[in-house]
């Protein structure tokens, strides 16, 4: 366990568990990537399980994945399922998500995905994998290298790291009974790791997308992977428009260079969806942006 310069009583509470086999390390506040690198340097296990302070594993999560990996090559990466909760009281009511990278509700779920298949699914609207859902053999971590500490804890610093881990693997094995609980907050601003506040973090987020797309295309440059990379930049452009026009324009140029995107955005029902269907999503988002500036919502 690594305490990353906490200013509350986290370190004091954590010390209570040292007699239970927990090895505790403290460092100045340097960000999640630095703390994870510190933990990885100290870890002694054959398999690596990351877990952030806000999240929780099902008691049998690691056991399930180790059983699934029995007989597999060391280059097989284990994934799982994850769902969101807000308080400890409602964790048992967590609904586990289902989307193409979590094929637990498909009629004939695909148990194995090649690295390229995984990214094509994920970057084409198929969702993501929560950090704690992976179980990684140490050799894959060594091949992937350290967490990138220059990405300033943006919402995709874990995605950039596991992009390298996935591409270092031979295949991803889906383990539908391996469960992770991901804590969210009623006030999104509380979640500092996941909320991209400020231009510096947004630029760091864009930099992570450039890295991820570069890794994938270096491993496999095909029509499918180019489309997936274009979708990644298109989603960024949609999410950040019109607040960051220079980065949005840069992302849209990348979409064109990669051959175009087929990303279909899912609008929330209501006035915005109706307006976007008439004037297009950019005009609708500009209006929404101006209204927020005027009314503060």
38-44: long-range contacts at Cβ-Cβ below 8 A with a sequence spacing of 24 or more?
A: 38/2, 39/1, 39/2, 40/141, 40/146, 40/147, 42/2, 43/138
Token digits for 77? Answer: 């990466």
Average pLDDT value for residue range 173-194: 73
Q: Among 16-20, 150-154, 252-256, where is mean pLDDT lowest?
A: 150-154
Tell which wins on pLDDT, 255 or 198.
255
DSSP 269: T
pLDDT at 190 over 50: no
φ, ψ dihedrals at 109, nearest 5°: -60, 140
| pLDDT on residue 194 | 43
DSSP 97: P
What pLDDT band is residue 95 in, cutting at 50, 70 and 90? confident
What pLDDT band is residue 192 in, cutting at 50, 70 and 90? very low
**pLDDT mean across residues, the chain:** 89
Average pLDDT value for residue range 107-122: 89
Which tens digit of pLDDT belongs to each residue from 266-292? Answer: 666 677 777 777 788 888 888 877 777
Average pLDDT value for residue range 168-191: 82
Average pLDDT value for residue range 197-210: 90
Alpha-carbon distance 260 to 281, whole Å?
Answer: 17
Which tens digit of pLDDT belongs to each residue from 216-244? Answer: 999 999 999 999 999 999 999 999 999 99
Average pLDDT value for residue range 193-209: 79
| pLDDT on residue 98 | 80
Average pLDDT value for residue range 115-126: 94
Is the CB of residue 119 less than 8 Å from the CB of residue 101?
A: no
Cα separations in angstroms, 261 against 20, 130, 135, 204 = 51, 25, 32, 22
Which tens digit of pLDDT belongs to each residue from 37-53? Answer: 999 999 999 999 999 98
pLDDT at 170 over 90: yes
| pLDDT on residue 286 | 84
Average pLDDT value for residue range 85-99: 84
Domain boundaries, the chain: 44-190, 267-297
| pLDDT on residue 151 | 93
Domain covering 44-190, topology: Spore Coat Polysaccharide Biosynthesis Protein SpsA; Chain A (3.90.550)
Average pLDDT value for residue range 191-204: 68
pTM for this predicted structure: 0.90
| pLDDT on residue 268 | 63
Token digits for 91? Answer: 């964790």
Helix boundaries (H) for 169-244: 199-219, 223-240
| pLDDT on residue 53 | 85
């Amino acid at each position: 366990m690594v305490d990353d310069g906490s200013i509350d009583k986290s370190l004091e509470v954590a010390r209570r568990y040292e007699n239970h086999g927990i090895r505790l390390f403290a460092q100045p506040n340097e960000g999640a990537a630095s703390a994870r690198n510190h933990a990885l340097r100290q870890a002694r296990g054959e398999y690596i399980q990351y877990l952030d302070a806000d999240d929780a594993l099902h008691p049998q999560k690691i056991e399930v994945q180790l059983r699934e990996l029995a007989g597999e090559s060391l280059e097989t990466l284990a994934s799982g399922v994850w769902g969101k909760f807000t308080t400890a009281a409602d964790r048992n009511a967590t609904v586990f998500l289902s989307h193409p990278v979590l094929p637990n509700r498909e009629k004939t779920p695909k148990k194995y995905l090649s690295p390229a298949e995984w990214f094509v699914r994920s970057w084409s609207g198929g969702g993501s994998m929560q950090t704690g859902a992976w179980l990684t053999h140490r050799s894959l971590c060594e091949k992937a290298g350290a967490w990138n500490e220059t990405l300033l804890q943006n919402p995709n610093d874990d995605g950039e790291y596991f992009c390298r881990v996935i591409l270092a693997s031979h295949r991803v094995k889906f383990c539908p009974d391996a469960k992770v609980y991901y804590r969210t907050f009623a006030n999104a601003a509380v979640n500092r790791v996941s909320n991209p506040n400020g231009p510096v973090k947004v630029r760091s987020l864009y930099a992570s997308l450039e890295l991820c797309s570069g890794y994938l295309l270096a491993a496999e440059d095909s029509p499918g992977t180019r489309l997936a990379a274009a979708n990644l930049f298109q989603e960024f452009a949609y999410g950040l428009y019109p607040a960051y026009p220079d980065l949005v324009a840069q992302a849209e140029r990348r979409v064109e260079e990669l051959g175009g995107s087929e990303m279909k955005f899912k609008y929330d029902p209501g006035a915005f969806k109706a307006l976007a269907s008439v004037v297009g999503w950019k005009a609708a988002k500009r209006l929404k942006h101006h209204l927020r500036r005027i009314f503060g919502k």
